[in-house]
């Protein structure tokens, strides 16, 4: 979540272009990590992951531009009131995320320490990955304040979202991120990559704890919402 905009607000098309450029360079960086860590370019699982990752990112950007251009602008804008914990968690999270990819490349793409995972395991991992992306898209669809930074959007009149997945858990996108990183290793044919993937997922769990506390203190109506919807991430558990 975020708030204060820049001195000159982006237009939706400029925001789309900026987000596309960021995504493109992330995609290239992903390719570099995948195939350099694997030590070869003919790694089929690496190519499948690379293509699906890029297609899903591109589709999500285009859908956001079509459905909620104001939110696209918000997500493309960097803000000065991001919570202090986010400035620590997010960089470490990205490090663990790319470590997951790198370890998978070294393992499955090069040395094959994990052996050859059954196709059924890889398919199940992809199903969970796609469901995680669907959950994120569902959350974005109903939440006009779904920003990439952890802070309040006071200038946009932020209020509590109670629809879609938010009627079941308070942080559906973080649940999706946890699921996605837990299965990224198996998607690439690596059990060893589950270790940094778990650490990336753990950081999203920790971010959930801090953000939920912040929202209960700073966002009007959130405490009442938390009483109505007691589960932060896992329905019936926590």
- List Cα–Cα distances, 105 to 22, 24, 109, 151, 189, in angstroms: 23, 20, 5, 35, 9
pLDDT tens per residue across span 145-171: 887 777 777 777 788 889 999 999 999
pLDDT-derived band at 77, boundaries 50, 70, 90: confident
What does the pLDDT average to over 173-201? 97
Does position 4 have pLDDT exceeding 70, yes or no?
no
Taking the whole predicted model, whether its pTM rises above 0.85 is answered as yes
Q: Which domains does the chain have, with CATH numbers?
A: 12-228 (1.20.120.1630)
Does position 1 have pLDDT exceeding 60, yes or no?
no
Who's near 13: CB < 8 A, 6+ residues apart? 65
- pLDDT score recorded for residue 3: 38
- List Cα–Cα distances, 101 to 132, 185, 194, in angstroms: 18, 7, 10
Who's near 112: CB < 8 A, 6+ residues apart? none
pLDDT tens per residue across span 79-135: 666 788 988 999 999 999 999 999 999 999 999 999 999 999 999 999 999 999 999
Structure tokens at 177: 């991120």
- pLDDT score recorded for residue 80: 65
- pLDDT score recorded for residue 81: 66
pLDDT tens per residue across span 10-54: 899 999 999 999 999 999 999 999 999 999 999 999 999 999 999
Is the sign of the CA dihedral 169, 173, 175, 176 positive or negative?
A: positive
When comparing pLDDT for 151 and 216, which is higher?
Answer: 216
Average pLDDT over the chain, rounded to an integer = 90
């Amino acid at each position: 979540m975020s708030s204060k905009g820049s001195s000159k607000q982006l237009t939706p098309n400029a925001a789309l272009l900026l987000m596309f450029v960021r995504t493109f360079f992330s995609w290239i960086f992903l390719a570099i990590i995948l195939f350099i860590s694997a030590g070869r370019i003919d790694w089929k699982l690496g190519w499948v992951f690379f293509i699906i990752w890029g297609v899903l990112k591109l589709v999500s950007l285009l859908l956001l531009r079509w459905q909620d251009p104001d939110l696209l602008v918000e997500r493309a804008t960097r803000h000065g009131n991001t919570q202090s914990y986010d400035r620590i968690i997010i960089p470490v999270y990205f490090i663990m995320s790319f470590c997951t990819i790198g370890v998978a490349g070294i393992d499955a793409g090069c040395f094959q320490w994990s052996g050859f995972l059954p196709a059924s395991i890889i398919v199940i991992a992809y199903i969970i990955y796609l469901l995680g992306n669907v959950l994120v898209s569902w959350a974005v669809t109903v939440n006009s304040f779904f920003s990439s930074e952890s802070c309040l959007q006071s200038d946009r009149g932020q209020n509590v979202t109670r629809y879609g997945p938010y009627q079941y858990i308070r942080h559906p996108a973080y649940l999706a991120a946890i699921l996605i990183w837990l299965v990224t290793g198996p998607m690439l044919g690596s059990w060893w990559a589950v270790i940094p993937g778990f650490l990336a997922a753990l950081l999203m769990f920790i971010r959930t704890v801090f953000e939920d506390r912040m929202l209960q203190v700073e966002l009007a109506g959130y405490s009442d919402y938390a009483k109505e919807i007691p589960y932060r991430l896992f329905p019936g558990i926590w």
